[in-house]
Every structure is written in C-alpha cells, then in structure tokens.
C-alpha cells in the first residue's frame, strides 16, 4: 500500500517503522527520541567506505576492504573455544573467514558453498593466509555491502546496522512537504527544499559540511520556527486590550528627587518605556534586562508606584524571602506614607496571613512583596494592575505564557533578569516579550579589582583578608559545587570553613547544599547585619541581594566556573562605593584557556560583552546552565556559527509581522519543530 505521506508521518510513533520492535523503541525513548522526526537529528558521526572492492591477491592488510568470494569448505572443530573457519576463494587467491562464538547453522546460511558472496571488514594475515575475523558485512547482494556505511554515536543496545536500516527507511519515505518559506528566504539557500536538505544531511560524504546550503537551511528552519512561535505569543498578548493606567509623573519625580543618587540614562530610558506600556491600551509583557547591580529594582518600584497612583494594586515576586524583604524595606523607605505596603512571608502567623489576604481582597493593600507563594490560588486581589517578577531567568516560555494568562486582562507584567546573555540567545529565549535593557551601571561604581592566585599562596589571601576585616569589610568565600561529586565538595567546603574559623574565630559561617532554607535566611540576615565577617558557601550566593559591606569575594577552583558565572559572582561585591576585589584561586598553573578568561574578566565589567565572549569559549547551551533550565536547545543551529541566520530569521519575522502575513503555511514547520502546548492556540 503506497499512501501519499504528509508531515504527520514524521510525527508518528517509532513503532510505525517497519522492523522496529518494542525493544528498540524503548531504548530510543530513553534517549528522548519519541517520533520519526526525532530520529532525523541522529546524525552520522563518520562513515566507512566499503564501496571499492578488490581481488584477494591485492588485499591490503590491516585495512577495511571489500571482496567478492566463493565459499569452498567449512571446518567446524568440535573443541570449544576453537573458532569455526570457512575457506573462501576467488580466481586470485584464498581467504579464511574466522568465526568465534557463532553457530554452525548461521555460518552455513550466510556463506553457502559455491555461491558468490561479498564480504567486508579489516583484513589480517595469519599463517600465510588472508583472514577476516567475525565479518559483520556479508551479503550475496554485493550492492548492499558496496557503499558508504554510516557510523552513529550508538544508543546502547542498537547496532549500527539497525540504525542504518531505520534511517534509510525514513529517508526513503520522507513526505513531500509544501515549501513554507518565502522566495526571498529560499533563495538564500539556493532554493533547496526541506526534503532534499534532510537527504543530504544524512549522506555520509556530507558529514561536517556546516556551511553548505542544506545544513544552513535546516538550521534556519529551527531558528525561524522558534522565533515564529515567540512572535505569535507576543502578538496574542499584545492583542489583549486593557484599561489604560493614568498617572502624573510629577509624583514619581518627587521620589526620584529624594533618592541619594540620580538615575542613570538607561534607568530613565527603561522607566520611560515601561511607563509608556502602562499607559497604553495594550497589555505589557516586558523584560527588564540588566547586569548585576545596574539598578533594576528602583526602576521597577517606580513603575509600581505609578500603577498604584493609577488606582491599581501591585504584586512583586522575588525568588527568595530575603530578597522579597529587601525590596519591601526599600519600598517602605521611598514610598509616601499613604501607600499601603505589605510583605507576605512564609513565617507570618496564620492570623497575620489571613489578615493580609482579606485586606488584599478589599484593596486595603496597594503593593505586596513575597515569593512565588504570591501566586497561590487563595491570594486574590481586588484590582491587580501590575506583576513584577525579579530574577526570573529560570522561567521557560510556557511558564511565562501561563503567568500572563493568569495575571488577568488589566494586569501588566514586568519580568527582570540580571543575567546578561548574548543577543542571539535573548532573541531565542525572550522573543515573546518586549525588551528593555540597562547597559550602563551607576557611575559611582568602582570597578572590582580582579586577581588570580595559586592555591598554594593562600597565606597571601589570608593576609589580605585580615586587612580588609580590620577596615570593617566582609568577605564571600566560594567553593564550587561540582554536580558529580557533591559529597566531596561538601567536605571541602566544611574543611575550608574549619580552617578559616581557626584563623577568624566567631567570624565564619557556612552555607552549603544541606543548609535548610530557614538556617540559610538566618545566616544571610546575620551577614547582612554585619554580625560576622566571612561567609563560606558552596552554592552561588543568593542572586540579587545587596550586601553593601561585602567587598571581597574569593573564588576557589575558579576554573570550574564559566566566565559569565564568574562575572555574576564578582557582581556580589562592588555594589557600594568602596574599593572591592575579586580573588580567583586556582589549583595548579593556569591553562591557556584560564588565562584568557581571567584577562577577559580583568578587561571588562560589562556582563553583556562577557557573555558573548563566554559563548565563544564554551559554546551555546553551556553558558549559565541554560541547558538544564529546560530552555529549548537547538539540534543544528548554533548562535555563534549561525549568527547571520539568527539575524535573517529576526528580519523575516519582522517583515511577516509588519505585512500581517498569513502564517498558516508555517503550520507543518511549527508542528514539526515546536511541539510545546502553546502552539495549539496558534496553528
Ligand atoms: P540589580 O539591577 O542587580 O537588581 P539593584 O537594583 O539591587 O541592582 O541596585 C544595586 C545597588 O545600586 C542598590 O544599592 C541601589 O540602591 C544602587 N543604585 C541603583 N541605581 C543607582 C544609581 N543610579 N546610582 C547609584 N546607585 C544606584
Ligand atoms: Mg536585583
């Protein structure tokens, strides 16, 4: 039965493949290969050319060779452990096929006496005779053997032969898919179709040809589909009409005038962008992106203040209680007294909580701070007009979409992230949102001095720290956590804190993976109050919290961290107006790569630039653990090598948006490439 296949064939289950049983299906599923489409991206790593065959007399020893022979005689010894042999001939000579652990019946079946058979494998020479041991490539049909055979990085339990067969079956059954791209785009890839591109992708001789049109087209498809889904979500959110917020910026400016600093140009610019959104009739869905310490909090609080003045309530969600409290205290300090400010804490008593919930519902609270607990069902607002979420870089597109849906029609959404990332990544990950970026930092900041030190020179570091403590300063001491050996690191951090405790009695506290949240808060609060001097930790110190007194950070085993992470860690200090330092410690002499990274860090304090450099050194996916955070990873596309494709995709999306083009022709593309639930609303 020959049915015309459409793209649904590619989405069908692996069990619909011929000759693929439960065992293979399950092995693949374990590797997250669930559909035929998923198998397309299982690419050959290398290939073995078995296409040329020679005569026995011309065989080259120790090379993989193909030869057509006629089996003559079996010798099947009845003694265990002795191999079975089949003597084979052609008109030029003799060769022995040698089998260990193979059944007689099987051998006689694949090498029948007197029949022409093609065999292939690595040729040996033993006791004056050519020999082929345990040949895997044997067939009476020479064309099956005489070709290029792909090698895959194998899923355990599935042989190369099975893989080749499965892939071949899929390639032969590829559906004809109507072209989804515009002529302009297609032209950029020499008009190669998706179908032909996939075929070329799997041709052994095309392995590693990243620059060729077929590869570029497929990489582009991936990028483009991600961008298209992002664009559709954004359009959908934008379409939601809301009540415009009306406020007088005079009041906002009064607050600004009372701050003990003036806003930077970027702070002013982003505040304007947000205010404009608040006043528009379209719902805001905006990301405020800025480096650590660039001053996002004040921008977000001012926009909260404006929303309150417009008669709405505001919810501010932080990732931790301590950060929520810090924002809460800041609001209390800068907002006029008539504004009702609350903190919903996990530690509040039941009565207290109930009271807060009641007052929220009666609109007796204008702004509430808290953790994700703020999004529980029982927390209801009378007139919520703005949700602010701080340091949210762990949300995926799906979660954000849900958040926006839940927020309700009149509620604007502002997300903040202190994770500067390369532009290509921002487009990919946050393309569903409008973007405001704070690049410049407050100019009162002194750059953090960055040093590198061998671990054996720890005494110098201790001396330095003693001096700093005398000046009233505090110190972060970071021991990295390596996933594979949590236990070891753990003990190393404990040992380090014991060592430091001896030198600085009563001045050292330790945070590690096993510290409970409650303990952690107590310790962090003490540190904030300057009750002790040195905080040793294995985990990354809470993002976002301002420790104005801490101005030294020591990072052990600094080579375990990526550049961006080092930059983030360094950003824990240097937030006040003091001179501050970052000491990177290394176990042994620095590798070239480590030297490069230190120089990059010394050279710049600009997180965006550093993240670009980080990506160049480490590759996409590794930076800042985006791989782990569930954010989609590309199969072929690479933001470094395919930078131009990202730009092209962005341009094409903008064109489609501008010309309000019908996107239904992209339905197969989206269905194939992006099977998140969000697309059900779209295509
Ligand atoms: P982040 O962007 O990392 O959230 P914060 O908003 O916590 O940064 O700001 C870090 C510190 O910088 C705070 O102590 C804040 O008061 C201060 N700050 C913010 N804006 C300015 C500014 N324009 N000039 C000087 N200091 C500022
Ligand atoms: Mg912050």
pLDDT in tens, 537-552: 886 566 667 788 899 9
- pLDDT category, 683, cuts 50, 70, 90? very low
Place 296 in a pLDDT band, splitting at 50, 70 and 90. Answer: very high
Q: What is the pLDDT of residues 457-511, one digit of tens each?
A: 999 999 999 999 999 999 999 987 654 455 555 667 888 899 999 999 999 999 8
Whether 289 and 214 share a structural domain? no
The ligand whose atoms approach the alpha carbon of 544 most closely is: 2
**Does the pLDDT at position 1 exceed 50?**
no
Q: Which of 266, 297, 576 to mutate to test the pocket of ligand 1 (most atoms within 8 A of CB)?
A: 297
Pairing type for strands 313-317 and 367-370 reads parallel
Q: In whole angstroms, what separates CA 342 from the centre of its chain?
A: 35
The residue-averaged pLDDT of 315-335 equals: 92
What value does the mean pLDDT take over residues 408-435? 86
With a 6 Å cutoff on the Cβ, whether 298 touches ligand 1 is yes
Q: What pLDDT score was predicted for residue 619?
A: 64
CA neighbor of 137 nearest in space, from 154, 157, 151: 151
Residue range 241-253: mean pLDDT, rounded: 95
Q: Which of 316, 311, 295, 305 is nearest to 250 (CA)?
A: 305
The answer as to whether 443 is a domain residue is no
Q: Are residues 597 and 466 in the same domain?
A: yes
* Chain mean pLDDT for the chain: 87
Strands 412-417, 384-389: parallel, antiparallel or unpaired by DSSP?
parallel
- Where among 405, 438, 471 does a domain terminate? 438
Residues 478 and 381 in one domain: no
| pLDDT recorded at residue 485 | 53
Centroid of chain to Cα 443: 32
Q: In this model, does residue 243 exceed pLDDT 80? A: yes
pLDDT for position 486: 52
Q: How many domains does the chain have?
A: 5
Closest ligand 1 atom to Cα of 548: 14
- Ligand 2 geometric centre to CA of 133 (Å): 66
Q: Which of 86-89's residues contact partners 24+ apart within 8 Å by CB, and which partners?
A: 86/111, 88/117, 88/119, 89/56
Of the pLDDT bands very low, low, confident and very high (cuts 50, 70, 90), residue 281 is very high
pLDDT at 529: 92
Please give the distance, rounded to the nearest whole angstrom, from the Cα atom of residue 293 to the centre of ligand 1: 5
- Tell me whether residue 623 is in a domain: no
For the beta carbon of residue 637, count every other beta carbon within 10 angstroms: 24
CATH of the domain at 169: 1.10.150
pLDDT of 627 > 50? The answer is: no
Q: Same structural domain for residues 599 and 680?
A: no
**Domain for residue 636, yes or no?**
no
Determine if ligand 1 sits within 6 Å of the CB of residue 293.
yes
CA nearest ligand 1 atom 5, residue: 295
User: Which residue, judged by its Cα, is nearest atom 17 of ligand 1?
Assistant: 295
Which helix (H) or strand (E) segment is 424 a member of? helix 423-429
Residue range 213-225: mean pLDDT, rounded: 95
Of 174, 165, 222, the C-alpha closest to 196 is 174
Predicted local confidence at residue 404, as pLDDT = 73
**C-alpha of residue 293 to centroid of ligand 2, in Å:** 7
Does residue 568 fall inside a structural domain? yes
pLDDT in tens, 140-172: 988 888 888 887 776 667 777 788 888 889 999
**pLDDT over 80 (residue 567):** yes
Question: Is 625 domain-assigned?
Answer: no
Of 444 and 373, more confident? 373
Average pLDDT estimate for 110-119:
95
Q: Looking at the structure, do residues 417 and 465 belong to the same domain, yes or no?
A: no
Domain boundary among the residues 389, 413, 438 is at 438
Please name which of 99, 101, 96 lies closest in space to residue 80, comparing C-alpha atoms.
101
Distance CA 548, CA 530 (A): 10
Residue whose CA lies nearest to ligand 1 atom number 9: 295
For a pocket test of ligand 1, which of 442, 569, 574 has the largest count of ligand atoms closer than 8 A to its C-beta? Answer: 442
Q: Is the domain of 77 the same as that of 192?
A: no
Q: Is 574 in the pocket of ligand 1 (CB under 6 A)?
A: no
pLDDT of 626 over the 70 cut: no
Q: pLDDT confidence of 394, banded at 50, 70, 90?
A: low
For residue 442 and ligand 1, the question of a CB distance below 6 A is answered with yes
Residue with the larger pLDDT of the pair 322 and 328: 328
Pull the structure tokens for residue 335. Answer: 């907002």
* Tokens 């500067």, located at residue: 420
Domain check: are 206 and 347 in the same one?
A: no
Q: What is the CATH number of the domain that holds 528?
A: 3.40.50.300
Tokens of 403: 């958040």
The residue written with tokens 């519902």 in the block is: 361
What is the 175 CA–ligand 1 centroid distance (Å)?
A: 56
Beta carbons of 156 and 150 less than 8 angstroms apart: no
Q: Residue 359: exposed, middle, or buried by beta-carbon count in 10 A (0-12, 13-18, 19+)?
A: middle
Ligand nearest to the CA of 263: 1
Task: Specify the pLDDT at position 543.
Answer: 64
Residues 6+ apart with CB under 8 A from 584: 450, 451, 452, 453, 555, 558, 566, 598, 601
Question: Does residue 609 form part of some domain?
Answer: no
Task: Tell me, using a 6 A CB cutoff, whether residue 42 lines ligand 1.
Answer: no
Alpha-carbon distance of 552 to 207, in angstroms, equals 49
pLDDT given at position 124: 94
Find the 626 Cα to ligand 2 centroid distance in Å: 20
d(CA 432, ligand 2 centre) in Å: 22
Verify that 83 and 105 share a domain, yes or no.
yes
Which of 117-121, 135-139, 648-652 shows the lowest mean pLDDT across its residues?
135-139
* 490 contact partners, CB below 8 Å, separation of at least 6: 512, 513, 514, 538
Q: Which domain holds residue 60?
A: 51-146
Q: Which numbered ligand comes closest to the C-alpha of 298?
A: 1
Q: Residue of the nearest CA to atom 20 in ligand 1?
A: 295
Ligand 1 center to 599 CA (angstroms): 26
Q: Stretch 602-628: mean pLDDT, rounded?
A: 72
Report how far ligand 1's centroid is from the alpha carbon of 419 (Å). 15
pLDDT digits (tens, 9 = 90+) for 44-84: 888 888 988 889 999 999 999 999 999 999 999 888 788 99
Residue 622 falls inside a structural domain: no
Q: Is the pLDDT of residue 443 over 90?
A: no
CB of 559 within 6 A of ligand 1: the answer is no
- The residues, any chain, with a CB within 8 Å of residue 525's CB and separated by 6 or more, are 322
Q: Is 261 in the pocket of ligand 1 (CB under 6 A)?
A: yes
Same structural domain, 433 and 455: no
| 343 and 272 belong to one structural domain | yes
| 84, part of any domain | yes
**Among 45, 49, 42, which Cα is nearest to 170's?**
42
330 touches ligand 1 (CB under 6 Å): no
Centre of ligand 1 from the C-alpha of residue 442, in Å:
7
Q: Is residue 478 located within the same domain as residue 432?
A: no
pLDDT per residue as tens digits for the range 336-379: 999 999 999 887 888 899 999 999 999 999 999 998 888 777 88
- In degrees, rounded to 5, the angle at the alpha carbon of residue 404 between the alpha carbons of residues 402 and 406 is 70
C-beta of 294 in contact with ligand 1 (< 6 A): yes
Statement to judge: residues 541 and 676 lie in one domain? no
Q: Strand, helix or coil at 316?
A: strand
Instruction: Report the pLDDT value the prediction gives residue 484, as an integer from 0 to 100.
Output: 47
Q: pTM of the full predicted structure? A: 0.76
Last residue of a domain, one of 412, 438, 464: 438
């Amino acid at each position: 039965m020959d049915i015309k296949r459409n793209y649904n064939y590619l989405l069908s289950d692996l069990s619909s493949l011929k000759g693929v049983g439960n065992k293979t299906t399950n092995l693949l599923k374990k590797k997250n290969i669930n559909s035929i489409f998923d198998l397309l991206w299982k690419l050959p790593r290398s290939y073995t050319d078995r296409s040329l065959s020679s005569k026995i007399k011309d065989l080259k020893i120790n090379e993989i060779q193909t030869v057509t022979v006629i089996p003559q005689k079996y010798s099947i010894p009845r003694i265990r452990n002795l191999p079975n042999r089949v003597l084979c001939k052609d008109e030029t000579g003799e060769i022995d096929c040698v089998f260990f652990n193979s059944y007689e019946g099987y051998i006689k079946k694949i090498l029948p006496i007197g029949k022409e058979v093609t065999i292939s494998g690595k040729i040996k020479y033993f006791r004056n005779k050519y020999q082929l041991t345990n040949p895997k490539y044997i067939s009476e049909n020479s064309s099956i053997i005489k070709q290029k055979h792909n090698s895959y990085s194998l899923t355990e339990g599935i042989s190369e032969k099975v893989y080749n067969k499965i892939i071949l079956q899929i390639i032969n059954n590829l559906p004809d898919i109507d072209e989804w791209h515009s002529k302009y785009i297609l032209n950029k890839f020499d008009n190669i179709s998706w179908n032909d591109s996939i075929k070329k992708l799997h041709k052994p001789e095309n392995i590693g040809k990243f620059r060729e049109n077929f590869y570029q087209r497929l990489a582009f498809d991936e990028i483009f589909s991600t961008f298209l889904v992002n664009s559709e979500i954004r359009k959908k959110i934008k379409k939601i009409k809301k009540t415009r917020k009306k406020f007088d910026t005079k009041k906002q400016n009064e607050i600004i005038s009372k701050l003990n600093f003036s806003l930077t140009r970027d702070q002013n610019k982003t505040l304007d962008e947000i205010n404009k959104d608040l006043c528009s009739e379209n719902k805001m869905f905006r990301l405020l992106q800025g480096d650590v310490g660039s001053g996002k909090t004040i921008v977000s609080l001012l926009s909260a203040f404006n929303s309150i003045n417009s008669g709405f309530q505001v919810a501010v969600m932080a990732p931790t209680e301590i950060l929520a409290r810090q924002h809460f205290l800041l609001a209390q300090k800068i907002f006029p007294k008539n504004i009702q400010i609350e903190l919903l804490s996990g530690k509040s008593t039941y009565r207290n909580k109930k009271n807060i919930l009641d007052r929220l519902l009666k609109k007796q609270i204008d702004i509430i701070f808290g953790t994700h607990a703020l999004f529980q069902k029982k927390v209801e607002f009378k007139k919520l007009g703005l949700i602010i979420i701080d340091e949210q870089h762990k949300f995926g597109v799906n979660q954000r979409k849900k958040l926006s849906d839940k927020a309700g029609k009149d509620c604007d959404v502002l997300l903040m992230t202190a994770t500067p990332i390369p532009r290509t990544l921002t487009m990919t990950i946050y393309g569903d949102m409008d973007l405001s970026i704070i690049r410049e930092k407050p100019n009162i900041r002194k750059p953090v001095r960055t040093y590198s030190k061998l671990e054996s020179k720890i005494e110098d570091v201790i001396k330095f720290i003693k001096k700093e403590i005398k000046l009233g300063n505090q110190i972060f001491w970071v021991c990295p956590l390596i996933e594979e050996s949590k236990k070891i690191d753990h003990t190393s951090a404990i040992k380090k804190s014991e060592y430091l405790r001896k030198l600085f009695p009563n001045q050292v506290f330790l945070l590690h993976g096993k510290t409970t949240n409650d303990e952690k808060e107590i310790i962090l609060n003490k540190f904030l109050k300057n009750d002790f001097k040195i905080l040793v930790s294995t985990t990354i110190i809470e993002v976002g919290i301002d420790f104005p007194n801490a101005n030294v950070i020591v990072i052990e085993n600094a080579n375990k961290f990526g550049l961006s992470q080092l930059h983030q860690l360094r950003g824990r200090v240097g937030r006040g107006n003091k001179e501050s330092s970052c000491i990177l410690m290394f176990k042994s002499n620095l590798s070239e790569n480590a030297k490069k990274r230190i120089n990059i860090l010394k050279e710049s304090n600009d997180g965006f630039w550093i993240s670009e450099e980080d990506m160049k050194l480490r590759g996409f996916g590794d930076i800042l653990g985006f791989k782990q955070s569930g954010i989609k990873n590309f199969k072929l596309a690479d933001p470094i090598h395919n930078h131009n494709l990202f730009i092209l995709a962005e341009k094409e999306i903008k064109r489609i948006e501008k010309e309000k083009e019908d996107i239904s022709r992209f339905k197969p593309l989206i269905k194939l490439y992006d099977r998140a639930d969000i697309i059900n609303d779209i295509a």
